[in-house]
Structure 1
């Protein structure tokens, strides 16, 4: 998710940091994925210490940009090194918000809730619906499905601390609630989900309809799944090729063009009280 956009952008050196297992080895699936993605260097390290090493060149060559989500320590480390290096975003715990009406399957909504809260006790899952009946059915489904899953302790705490059901008067209000929250993952499980897309302005990724559950985006669909969290979808986009590109302005005036604009530039510099700026223009107008 990080390396391929960098490769497409033309990044020459793509470094991956990944924590090793107890025996010091790296998961072979990770190594294959790295090779397929164009990674040029791999370091056996992770966490905040990897962020520091890559930013400051401690034991490894310093990089220009650090991308990829992590736990709260990684996020704080990225925030601290920003300015020394660039970063993609400050990614927090996983979030899912589901907009659903009475036509939605309670089993689908419950399953998608649980697929996110198994990540972390800080993960959030929110249902926004105009249907009280659906909300009650989803709660029952969560209890039934939870009993069959392995990470129950994590999921129960996440749902208790960060789970919510919000009853709204209609789907219009549901869209407003979603835009205020700006979720990382937004599922639209309504009778006419595409009719709502134009009203949904803030979300990392939108999953439309009953057969586009969030794990499809995690593993297979194609769009990058490094997504803004914590409401930052209001101003951040998913990681993409542009994340690894920068722009430089190039200005080249001819003598004729310079002469035509010189008086305007001098006037602006004078108004700002920067006479050295004005002088840099005036000196070029003097006949040698």
Structure 2
């Protein structure tokens, strides 16, 4: 599907698009089979493209038909950008979006044909992301396998049967890294209030959260089991969890927070 004659066209080489591009190059994708369209790539990205030998254009060139057209621009820019991309779309092109809030029907309106809507997250920048994806009926099994390969360079891909699930995926994993970062902020601030210097509290909180995440990544045990393993009866951890797991504790806060994120995702879809 992807070759120098039908390239992988990446529209937008910002944080997420750049993370995907780095993953493809690191995985051995032929640079000659990639075309980047970005009018203002960062200096670091421009150097990366030049070093790798990846063609970069400020606007869609004539005479190019994409094998995969990856849309990595901000959702609010899509309506302005998409009309200029129609010349890249051929009968076998698969359009792949990583933008929140824009539906398959939205992309079909402009580009037609095979469309995959996906929601990656920012840990993709270090190869530890996860992506939810859903395809329309025009995406063949072969094309879906190719899209899976492209997305999985930055972490596992979870394929959804119902596009309506994308809003919940956005709320859990798409926006989720921000919740974890805020958890670190809250832990550090609570540590400061317990008497620690602010910089030490932040180092402790940051290392604890990243370490716990790596332990969970490597362990076959579920999150509940890992939590129970570190909780001694009547100990310090149990005392803290009694507050966090109370009826008014973390669960209702997360219920409300994720509902707000999912509702906003639906609003963005129009």
TM-score normalized with structure 2 length: 0.30
Structure ranking higher in helix proportion: 2
